[in-house]
Amino acid sequence: MTADLDEGPIIAQDVARVDHSKTVEDLTALGRNTESQVLAPAVKWHGEHRVLINGHKTVIFRSLSRYPPPSPAPIAPPRPAPTPG
């Protein structure tokens, strides 16, 4: 993280298609909307400690919720006590 806006690592990006008919106000609104759509999941991933900076690259780990934990090994019934003899 840095104190300057847009100076930190890129975690997520999106694009919005525009054409010559868009006004400055249209572009500003479109940019804000796109930014908010991308920022929310990026903050969530950061909070889940899924973002890793590796040199000049940003790695986002998959959500573990997609991969349930393995089932525990079945517990074997207790063995009967040996009979004296």
Q: What is the pLDDT of residues 48-73, one digit of tens each?
A: 888 999 888 899 988 766 656 566 66
6 is a catalytic site residue: yes
Q: Which residues contact 12 (CB under 8 A, 6 or more apart)?
A: 38, 39, 41, 42, 45, 60
Which listed residue (4, 6, 14, 19) is catalytic? 6
- Residue 45 has, within 13 A of its CA and on its CB side, a CA count of 18
CA distances from 69 to 66, 72, 73 (A): 10, 9, 12
Amino acid letter, 21: S
> What does the pLDDT look like over 69-84, one tens digit per residue?
566 666 767 777 777 7
* pTM score, whole prediction: 0.58
